[in-house]
Structures are given as C-alpha cells and as structure tokens.
Amino acid sequence: MDSFEKNILITGGAGFIGSHLVRHFVRKYPSYRIINLDALTYAGNLSNLRDIEECPNYVFVKGDICDGELVSGLFRTYRIDAVIHLAAESHVDRSVLDPFTFARTNVMGTLNLLHCARTCWGSLKEGFDGKLFYHISTDEVYGDLPITRDTAPYGESFFTEETAYRPHSPYSASKASSDHFVRAFHDTYGMPVTITNCSNNYGPFQHPEKLIPLFINNIVNRRPLPVYGRGENVRDWLYVEDHVRAIDLIFHARRSGATFNIGGFNERRNIDVIRTLISTVDRILGRAEGEDECLVTFVGDRPGHDLRYAIDSSLLTGELGWKCQVSFEQGIEKTVRWYLGHTRWLEEVTSGEYMKYYDTMYSGRK
C-alpha cells in the first residue's frame, strides 16, 4: 500500500513555473508524492530542482506527455489521484516559426493525458471520486484588448472568465484548443477538471528567450535589446511565486468544472519594463545611471503581436481570498539579483540549441 496521502502527477515540472510549483509542493506537503513528468526539451532543466531531488516524496520521470503507454503506466504504478498539467511549448516567437510542434505537445499531449486519466480513473471502483485534472493555461487564449489610455490600467476592459476565446498566435491557439478539450472531458465524461488562465509570469529560472530574462542577460553583457515595434504593447506581470500560491489554493479548493483567471493588476508597457530593467541592472552593477539606455534597439514587430493583456482576477480574490504578495518593483529586484548570481545557469541554458534559435530569431530582424 502507498504510504502517501496523495499521488500528484505534475507535468512540465523541470520548466520555469513547473519547477517552482514542484519545489513548493514537495516541501510544503511531505505527505504528497510528487511525480514530475518532463521531456527535458530545450526549456526543461533538472538543475532547476537540484535542491529537492533527494526528497523522499519526489520522483522524476523523463518522458513525453504524448506517449500513451508511458503515461498510462505512470497512472497505474503511482496510483495518480490528481494531475497538474503544465508541460507545453510556451514561447510565442517559436510558435510562429514552428506551429506543428505546438499542436503536437499542447493539443495532442493534453488530449493524451486526459485520455489516460479517463481510462485509468474510469477503471477504478471509486471512479472519478477524489480525482482532479488541473490544467494550467494562459490569458493569451482571450486574444488582446485595446489601449485607450496613457497610464495603467491602459484601457477600461479586462479579461474575465466570461471573455470569449480569440487566440491570435499559434501558441495561444494551441492553448485554447487544449482548454476546450479539458472542458469537453468534464462535460462529456464527467471528469473533475479545473482550468486557470494566468497573465505573464517572471522570476528565477525563466528561460532567457522571454522578455525579462533575455533583456537582463543582454544588459549585463551590453548586447542590443531588441524591442518589437515601438515597445508600446502592454503585458500584465505576475511574480512566479504568486502564481504558485494561487495554484496551491485552487488545487485544494476542488471546484470541479471551474475556471479562474490569475493576475495581479500589474499592467506595464514593454518600454517601461525595459527602462526599469536597465536602471535596476545598472544600479546593482554600479554603472552610471542611464548608461545602458543606448542598448535599446527598435526592431521589426512580431507578426500578430497582441496589443494589451489585462486580467480581472476578482473571482479568485473574492471567492478564494488570493492576493498578489510581491509588487512589480520587489519582483524585478529579486529577479535581477537572481540572474546576476546565477551566471552558470544562464551559460548552461544559453549554449547549444538555444543559441541556434537565437541566431535565427534575431539575425536579419531590423
């Protein structure tokens, strides 16, 4: 018999958000066994989890969420009670270059997990009782919002849980499709599911293909900062640990069939984020104020670039009492200091395959 109170399969646990979530659950809930299934693509890195790899309630399995035999085997071997599904291809620019990989992992991979969960749980005496499939998704499924004002909030409208899906990029289209499959398994087969749609995350261990770590790294190394378009697009930023605390709360609230938006009402124009990064890095490194402003380089816009994301998370704050705890200023200070102290991690993830991608993305982008 298992000595664990719960067996939770977390997919994508070697990635950015997944590694914070796995660490949080392994440490906070020693009575839960956490099984981390991750294919270790360019975005997955086991060094994100060195500090917990020896914990008795942690198991790592290298494998693909699209592999039906492997996933069914994990359900049987570990008697999985709940899935928290994060594994995905997550970068919009890559989805523009290669949409098929996004459809395979994000759509077919999610469908495979749902199918294995249904088959395994359906064969048990208790059926779906006490089970949960929790799908981690993005606000990008809602499309984008207009900018109508010069200061935050940059418009009157926000994404709510009722907003219709209007994805624009291949990434958001694949995530929207996976959300629909998760709801379909709830409505068709009665599977207990929860979906959350979160705004842009930032913090330690984020791959430096994304805006904040890419620009910190480039400022430190005095490389150009490729700002798409005029830098006026708006994103709603959330420190990754605030996201993890929300996932913990929602997971334990067990609201089958529910959707929650997660965001901290933290809208920023890209150009303002970039100025904050420059001044923070320069201050910490003792460089003259504004010295690195000259690195800002306006380049051609991202195709289909969403103008503004802004999340209304009042359902989550009102019903479950979640609050964003880390302000943007505190979060940026922690994040910059973390990247400055982890140059080896950065070297590791920016070598090899990633640099080939970086060259494809930015060479010739004027």
Question: Which residues are tagged catalytic?
Answer: 139-140, 171
Q: Does 86 bind ligand NAD (CB under 6 A)?
A: yes
Using the rule CB under 6 A, which residue among 45, 106, 178, 200 binds ligand TYD?
A: 200
7 binds, among ligand TYD, ligand NAD, none (CB under 5 to 8 A by kind): none
Q: In what order do the strands lie in the sheet with 258-262?
A: 58-62, 32-38, 6-11, 82-85, 132-138, 193-198, 258-262
Residues numbered 91-110 forming contacts with ligand TYD, rule: CB under 6 A: 92
Q: Does 210 bind ligand TYD (CB under 6 A)?
A: yes
Using the rule CB under 6 A, which residue among 6, 29, 32, 40 binds ligand NAD?
A: 40
Using the rule CB under 6 A, which residue among 270, 280, 313, 335 binds ligand TYD?
A: 270
Residue bearing tokens 């064969």: 123
- Other C-beta atoms lying within 10 Å of the C-beta of residue 86: 24
CB of 248 to ligand NAD, least distance (A): 15
Report the distance separating Cα 76 and Cα 74, nearest Å: 5
Using the rule CB under 6 A, which residue among 23, 44, 246, 332 binds ligand NAD?
A: 44
Using the rule CB under 6 A, which residue among 18, 44, 143, 226 binds ligand TYD?
A: 226
Residue type at 311?
A: I
Query: What is the SS3 assignment for 12?
Result: coil
Comparison of 118 and 235: residue with beta carbon closer to ligand TYD: 235
Comparison of 195 and 214: residue with beta carbon closer to ligand TYD: 214
Report the distance separating Cα 63 and Cα 255, nearest Å: 29
The pair of structure tokens assigned to 146 is 């207009």
183 binds, among ligand TYD, ligand NAD, none (CB under 5 to 8 A by kind): none
61 binds, among ligand TYD, ligand NAD, none (CB under 5 to 8 A by kind): none
Report the distance separating Cα 170 and Cα 185, nearest Å: 23
Residue 47 · residue 15 · CB < 8 Å = no
Residues numbered 143-202 forming contacts with ligand NAD, rule: CB under 6 A: 175, 198, 200-201
CB of 225 to ligand TYD, least distance (A): 8
Using the rule CB under 6 A, which residue among 121, 142, 228, 328 binds ligand TYD?
A: 228
CB of 359 to ligand TYD, least distance (A): 13
Backbone φ and ψ of 215, nearest 5°:
-75, -35
Give 151's contacts (C-beta < 8 A, 6+ positions apart). none
Residues numbered 110-139 forming contacts with ligand NAD, rule: CB under 6 A: 136-138
Residues numbered 286-325 forming contacts with ligand TYD, rule: CB under 6 A: 302
Using the rule CB under 6 A, which residue among 64, 144, 236, 312 binds ligand NAD?
A: 64
By C-alpha distance, which of 243, 238, 340 is closest to 283? 340
> How many amino acids of this chain bind ligand NAD (CB under 6 A)?
31
Report the distance separating Cα 312 and Cα 199, nearest Å: 10
Categorise residue 209: left if φ over 0, alpha if ψ from -120 to 50, beta otherwise.
alpha
Comparison of 211 and 274: residue with beta carbon closer to ligand NAD: 211
214 binds, among ligand TYD, ligand NAD, none (CB under 5 to 8 A by kind): ligand TYD
Report the distance separating Cα 295 and Cα 228, nearest Å: 14
Beta strands in the chain (DSSP E): 6-11, 32-38, 58-62, 82-85, 132-138, 193-198, 200-202, 225-228, 234-239, 258-262, 267-269, 296-299
CB of 297 to ligand TYD, least distance (A): 10
Query: What is the SS3 assignment for 300?
Result: coil
CB of 239 to ligand TYD, least distance (A): 14
The site for ligand TYD (CB under 6 A) is made up of: 92, 200, 210-211, 214, 226-228, 233, 235, 270, 302
The site for ligand NAD (CB under 6 A) is made up of: 11-12, 14-18, 38-41, 43-44, 64-66, 86-90, 105, 109, 136-138, 175, 198, 200-201, 207
